[in-house]
Amino acid sequence: MDLLQVDQEKCLKCGICVECCPSCILTMGENGPECHFDRGCMSCGHCVAVCPAGALDNKYTPLEKQRPVTMPVLSADTAYEFLRMRRSVRVFKDAVPSEEEITRLLDICRYAPTAGNSQGMYYIVIRDKEKIKAIADAVADWMDEEVAAGTENKRYFMTVLRAYRERGQDIIARQAPVLVFALARRLNVTGVSNAEQCWAYAELFAPTIGLGTTIAGFIQSCGIAGYQPLLDLINIPPKHKVVGTLMLGYPKYKFKRMPERQHLKVDFQ
């Protein structure tokens, strides 16, 4: 089956699909768009999604599976307020979110941007309190080793270790009832960036379903560094690596105010 199917009766030959193709593999021919390099298609579905006449189909992103867009979903003011309201949640209720809730949260991450539309994110969800404690302990051990090795984060890690070990404050995992590890294929060089995008989606969507999140920076750094004692605690499938970690649970408190941020710095050139 060819990559593209063009309904020539519907095709306006407007060229919008050609303009929008991220891989620049389409040109406009006499009978509509033509693809010059099928293997260059990143399956993003834009050519089909943007066609004003519904004249185009793509075997990787079939027209019949594309949902119509209903815009605008939010006014600009509501969207601005919504984005401003997102907060990192570090204090959680004891109750553990259900598999359904966590799945619903991670499902939206499928729509986050990924380099070259690589997608392919794989998640491991840890809900065992003792395992989460063991993970935090392993991260503290990793920090000890990093400090001993003279890492550039030495002073910062020492501050973290003082809180964790001397004051008994869980600055690493925040006693979150859930940790989510994002994994990507080992050869995927953009896995970490992709995970960051997925977390942005998760963090924004979470409050709409009663959940709270915070990126677990210490844990994910340790995982990305490939610290074996941490990796041994999670069952990573072959040929995969850790590219991100998120803490998750029901927020214990509600934020009443939105702090101001640094001023926008922008230079139009």
Ligand X SMILES: Cc1cc2nc3c(=O)[nH]c(=O)nc-3n(C[C@H](O)[C@H](O)[C@H](O)COP(=O)(O)O)c2cc1C
Q: Does 87 bind ligand X (CB under 6 A)?
A: yes
Residue 218: CB minimum distance to ligand X, A: 5
Q: Which is nearer to ligand X, 122 or 255 (CB)?
A: 255
Paired residues of 246 in beta bridges: 180, 215
Residue 240: CB minimum distance to ligand X, A: 20
Three-state SS sequence of the chain: CCCEEECCCCCCCCCHHHHHCCCCCEEEECCEEEECCHHHCCCCCHHHHHCCCCCEEECCCCHHHCCCCCCCCCCHHHHHHHHHHCCCCCCECCCCCCHHHHHHHHHHHHHCCCHHHCCCCEEEEECCHHHHHHHHHHHHHHHHHHHHCCCCCHHHHHHHHHHHHHCCCCCCCCCCCEEEEEEEECCCCCHHHHHHHHHHHHHHHHHHHCCEEEECHHHHHHHHCCCHHHHCCCCCCCCEEEEEEEEEECECCCCCCCCCCCCCCCCCC
Rounded-to-integer distance, Cα 139 and Cα 231, Å: 10
**Which stretch in 23-31, 98-106, 150-158, 216-224 sits in contact with ligand X by CB under 6 A?**
216-224
Give the residue, chosen from 123, 157, 218, 227, that forms a contact with ligand X under the rule CB under 6 A. Answer: 218
52: tokens are 């004003």
Q: Does 157 bind ligand X (CB under 6 A)?
A: no
Q: Which is nearer to ligand X, 58 or 114 (CB)?
A: 114
Residue 210: CB minimum distance to ligand X, A: 17
Q: Does 215 bind ligand X (CB under 6 A)?
A: yes
Residue 17: CB minimum distance to ligand X, A: 36
Q: Does 62 bind ligand X (CB under 6 A)?
A: no
Give the residue, chosen from 15, 22, 29, 217, that forms a contact with ligand X under the rule CB under 6 A. Answer: 217
Residue 162: CB minimum distance to ligand X, A: 16
Q: Which is nearer to ligand X, 109 or 215 (CB)?
A: 215
Q: Does 90 bind ligand X (CB under 6 A)?
A: yes
Locus of tokens 């579905």: 45
Q: Does 214 bind ligand X (CB under 6 A)?
A: yes
Q: Which is nearer to ligand X, 5 or 190 (CB)?
A: 190
Nearest position to ligand X, beta carbon = 217
Q: Does 88 bind ligand X (CB under 6 A)?
A: yes
Give the residue, chosen from 216, 243, 246, 248, that forms a contact with ligand X under the rule CB under 6 A. Answer: 216
Q: Which is nearer to ligand X, 90 or 127 (CB)?
A: 90
Residues forming contacts to ligand X in the complex (CB under 6 A) are: 87-88, 90, 214-218
